[in-house]
Structure 1
Amino acid sequence: MAVLELDAIIVGAGFSGIYLLHLLRDELHLNVKILEARSDVGGVWNSNIYPGARVDCPTPVYAFDIEQVYKGWKWSQAYPSQEELQAYFRHVDQVLSVRQDCLFDSRVNEAHFNKASSRWTIQTDDGKTVIAKYLIPAVGFADKQYVPAWKGLDSFQGTIYHSSLWPRDGVDVRGKRVAVIGTGATGVQIIQEWGKEAAETLVFQRTPNLALPMKQKSLDSAAQSQMLVETPKLFDSCQSTFGGMPHADNTKAFSDYSSSEECEKMLGELYDKGGFRFWGGLADLLVNPEASRFAYEVWAKRVRARVHDPIKRDLLAPPEPPHPWGTKRPSLEQDYYEQFNRPNVQIVNTQAHPIVELTPKGIITDDKKLYEVDVIAIATGFDSSTGTLAKMGLQDLDGVDLESRWREGIISFLGMTIPGFPNMFLPYSIQSPTPLTNGPVFIKHQAKWIQSMIRKMETNGIQYIDPSQKAAQAWREEVLGIAGMTLFPQAKSWYQGANIPGKHIEQMYYLGGVPMYLKKCSAALGDEFLESFVTNEEAT
């Protein structure tokens, strides 16, 4: 097979990859291709086909902020389903001609940089070889699925699926006994569907999901026309908020309220409006234990009123918070808590009695109880951010793979560049605000920064840049330092890699918010460029 020589190679055809293809190919006029392990565009929205899969950020801003794209599209719901999002990506493909520059069914398994030629050599599992000046792994943060190493996993005689490997023709659970293991965002969405369909649904819950109401609504033609008019303004409003959401953050702290009743009223109104508004309801929610506890009590009061059975109520919204409110990403639900009012939906508390084994008939917990089921959905999440990157065979200048480099801790500069990996850029990944944001809005910021950096290099004849160890170490210290000032370390979460046995536990994401992060990025591209990066000119 012939070697493909390019200016840039992007890995992944989701939001990040497509944004960067558009910016580098259509605006900088570089020779760019996308390597995509799947057979179509759309990233996770090409594979998240489990029951109830839908986005948790609202339209029209969970989308490309590209005028020719959004002017030709109408959303049918406030929070679109996977099916609608996949149709949207087909529309994006038609407008931006994405597929013509995609190499599908090609998974990267090795990549190394040659300093003499200032080029990356990339190998794929289907035999392709690509040589490119720039390597951009746009693989997101939730692509590498995690399945616990339960004894007897292969012995189960029913059907079993991880949420990220769902069959295209679906799973019929009518009249069947089903189990959902995990109550993160995916588990919540599956439970909302299976609770209505299956003869019996067993929910295996380790930690309750402190979910918020989605307030889903359909959009008629009048609403669609109004949304199109408002879209530019809504995108603009996302620029200054902590997470790139279209609604403003509350600047008042818990102590700024004259009474607890006043604060409860405000939080209750945000809960009723739906979405993530409640998450940003207090300026000190994520740093002040008193504010966090108060928010939890307001939340629990609302949820407990929705659950009839007192045992289920205490498991879903316990009297004592399982962790500080908001230190795990809350899921958005439509009728999740009402499912537990159905006699056919039960909770198994795996915090008290963990799963120890699967048998041909079902699931056994450590109290030796067997739960017989016909179908199992594994919704145990992902080895976030580092999992996929570590398995791509990325090697530094000394031939050391990235997985080894990060075994004792992550080091990067701005979460987009890594010392020893010249000309490699990581959008929507580690040590940036990634999972605390509205993805497409934040991705645009990072894609624009990467575009600007590449333009700077091309304009000035810079063959390669490599972030300095000093700059990267300072960034690591800032990421961990900000985290240490918050309540996040008190929650055992995938934000810290704590969901993967044996993984080094540390805060993986930047908690300073999008506006502060963008200021740091702007400085590194401008006045602080020479302090932050080693270039080929300096090396010679």
Structure 2
Amino acid sequence: MSEQVLDALIVGAGFSGIHILSKLRKLDFNVKIYESGGDLGGTWYWNRYPGARVDSETPIYQLSEEKEIWDDFEWRERFPGRQELMRYFHHADKKLGLSKDIHYNTTVTDAEYDNSKKQWFVKTSNKGLSTWANHLILCTGFASKRYTPPFNGIDSFKGQWYHSGVWPENGVDLTGKRVAVIGTGASGVQIIQEIGPQVKHLTVYQRTPNLAIPMRQCFLGEEQKSLWKFPDKARYAEIFENLKKTFGALVIDMDFTEKKFEDSTPEERQALYEYLWNYGGFSYWLSTYKEIFHLQEANDEVYKFWCDQTRARLTDPKKRDLLAPVKAPHAWGTKRPCLETSFYEVFNQANVDLINVRESPILSIAENGVETEKEGVVEVDVIVFATGFDSVTGGILNINIKNGAGLSIQDKWKSGTATYLGLSSAGFPNLYWFYGPQAPTAFSNGPTTGTIQGNFVVDLMVKMRNENKRSVEAVKEAEDEWVKELKELWYNSLFPPTDSWYQGANIPGKLREPLNYFGGIPEYIKALEGCAEKGYEGFIIE
């Protein structure tokens, strides 16, 4: 068994992992990444399903501080697809030589803190590879633990079945096949609109309608077809800085309008909705009125506009009512909207059926198809489980993490997730996670939030090295205050009644609780900077 001693071990080679690897290396820290996939990209290594595409527009979704990467990389799509994103990651690897410090196909299984050494001992699935590390940094992301409902009979199905999160690397030929897609979340929407025109028959199983909004995809050289334009690269640095001043860093040069909902005329509101609808992307979600997440009247109006626009695209009355019901299934925007290009038009095809599993639950997976209460068995050749992830906390809890007293993170969070600043947890020294629980995660752009958090931790590690300190741990009282603030923000909004992965409601048996900080990126930055300016108040550094 070979053992290394590292200044820092990073788990995950997505955007956050790459950023902090690059930053720590430049500061002469001895650092490595363990990555369960076979290449760079984090979630984008695994997202190979048909139509896989990011919902953050160019140039937002990339490393902002690594100018040597973006300075000579040309994006070709407003919303990059999986192939485009992997081209970016390979370019980043070529420019920074990342892979020499990454162990691929290596899944971290266990991590235990040694109080006497003030180090983490980390075990992996890679036989013989274990590591001592002063700092353990989890960049596992918010969607790394896949969830497949335990339907009866899955093993008896004689066709092929796949989860969207582990799609075969060489793809699947669905031409002329009878396909079932279970789930209409982000991956479900993208798969459905991609495969609808090519399959023989498509049956979609929907639990809750996806209140999807227009992506308005645009390709380089076709800007004249869109209100959106590819930004001049000379503006990239300015754009990156401006993003930190917006709620979610998800729309270029836009944030919630400063004008209040109640101070706007109906004509002004309609004009704003129409502009954002045609502009596309997340602008219709995060550039309308601030009140939409707190004032039911404002939320209802935004939903009605969405509903009218969407229903006009659907020809079948029954499908129209299932996909875009006149009465909102939940408050608008309290689930992260999906971006679509032709999702609703697919349901106008004669070869596409839609089954409401709330009225007709799935009973089992039969040998030849999917059995529901009212329809019986619908025969299919392929089943796609677009059933999502144990989000936000799942990637962390998938690792057996124990502190020096033998307490696991699983046991600590059994009665409720608890972190300080969405970065670490009391009782677990020298342990951090990015784009995870109780940070702005679900409401923000991943690379932006990961960079903000990574820079905070790097500065803390530099301070510890300069002062010859070896351990840092969140204070329980500071953790309690952060959780209290997070819950106050959440429960004073329209979010709590909605069953969503924002609060773990998509996983049976998972504790229902707010998992994301709803204060926005500017307030989050203020909290981090305030902590640092006061000598990292809320942490014990020894």
- Report TM bin, short chain: over 0.9
CA apart distance, 1:220: 2.8
Q: State the TM-score, normalized to the length of structure 1.
A: 0.97
- Within 1, Cα distance between the matches of 2:337 and 2:292? 14
For residues 226 and 5 of structure 1, the distance between their equivalents in structure 2, rounded to whole angstroms, comes to 44
Supply the distance in 2 between the matched residues of 1:169 and 1:104 (Cα, whole angstroms).
19
Change (3 A) 1:269 1:222: closer
Choose which of 414, 423, 432 in structure 1 pairs with 2:421.
414
Q: Is the 8 A contact 2:363 2:372 kept in 1?
A: yes
1:230 aligns with 2:235: yes
Q: Are residue 376 (structure 1) and residue 377 (structure 2) matched?
A: no
Contact 1:60–1:227 under 8 Å retained in 2: no
What is aligned with 1:352? 359
1:247–1:277 CA contact under 8 A, matched in 2? no
Mapped to 1, the partners of 2:330 and 2:200 lie a distance apart of 33
Provide Cα deviations, 1:475-534, integer angstroms capped at 9, x if missing partner. Answer: 11111111011011010000000111111110100001000011111111221624x012
Whether 1:157 and 2:163 are equivalent positions in the alignment is no
The answer to whether 1:54 aligns with 2:38 is no
Cα separation, partners in 2 of 1:113 and 1:367, compared to 1, 3 Å:
same
Q: 1:171 aligns to what?
A: 172
Match for 1:263 among 253, 257, 269? 269
2:39 paired residue number: 40
C-alpha offsets along residues 377-413 of structure 1, whole Å, 9 cap, x if unaligned? 1001000121121121111232121112111100110
1:466 counterpart residue number: 473
2:58 touches 2:230 (CA, 8 Å); kept in 1?
no
The one-letter code sitting in structure 1 at the alignment partner of 2:159 is G
Is 2:200 aligned against 1:199?
yes
- Partner residue, 1:520: 527
Match in the other structure for 2:121: 121
Find the counterpart in structure 2 of residue 335 from structure 1: 342
State yes or no: 1:241 paired with 2:246.
yes
Q: Is the 8 A contact 1:152 1:357 kept in 2?
A: yes
How many angstroms does 1:535 deviate by? 2.5
Aligned to 1:76: 76
1:222–1:164 distance in 2 versus 1, CA, 3 Å: closer
Correspondence list, 1:130-149, <5 A = 130-149=131-150
- For residues 252 and 178 of structure 1, the distance between their equivalents in structure 2, rounded to whole angstroms, comes to 47
SS in 1 for 2:402: coil
Partner of 2:449: 442
User: Unpaired runs of 5+ in structure 1?
Assistant: none
Please give the alpha-carbon distance, in whole angstroms, between the structure 2 residues aligned to 1:490 and 1:90: 42
Matched, 1:504 2:511: yes
Q: Aligned pair 1:451/2:458, yes or no?
A: yes
Q: Is the 8 A contact 2:112 2:122 kept in 1?
A: yes
Q: Deviations over 1:120-173 (max 9, x none)?
A: 111112231111111001100001000001111111111000001111121111
TM-score by length of 2: 0.96
Contact 2:220 2:230 in 1 (8 A): no
Instruction: Say whether the 8 Å CA contact 2:11–2:33 is kept in structure 1.
Output: yes
**Long gaps (5+) in structure 2:** none
How big is the alpha-carbon RMSD for the aligned residues of Structure 1 and Structure 2? 1.4
CA deviation string 1:159-196 (max 9, x = no partner): 00000111112111111111111101100000011111
Does the 8 Å contact 2:147/2:387 carry over to 1? yes
* Cα deviation code 1:44-67 (max 9, x no counterpart): 111100000010000111111121
Identify which range, 261-270 or 205-214, moves more after superposition.
Answer: 261-270
Q: Decide which moves more: 520-529 or 452-461.
A: 520-529
Secondary structure at the counterpart of residue 490 of structure 1: coil
Once the two structures are TM-superposed, the CA of residue 437 in structure 1 deviates from its matched residue by 0.7
Which has the higher mean CA deviation after the structures are superposed, 521-530 or 444-453?
521-530
- Verify the 8 A CA contact 1:465 1:534 in the aligned structure 2: yes
How many angstroms apart in 1 are the aligned matches of 2:244 and 2:422?
19
| 1:244 aligned partner, one-letter code | A
Q: Does 1:208 align with 2:209?
A: yes
Aligned length: 533
Q: In 1, are the aligned partners of 2:249 and 2:521 still within 8 Å (CA)?
A: yes
Deviations 1:228-267 (CA, angstroms, capped at 9, x unpaired): 2222222122120000132322122321212x23212211
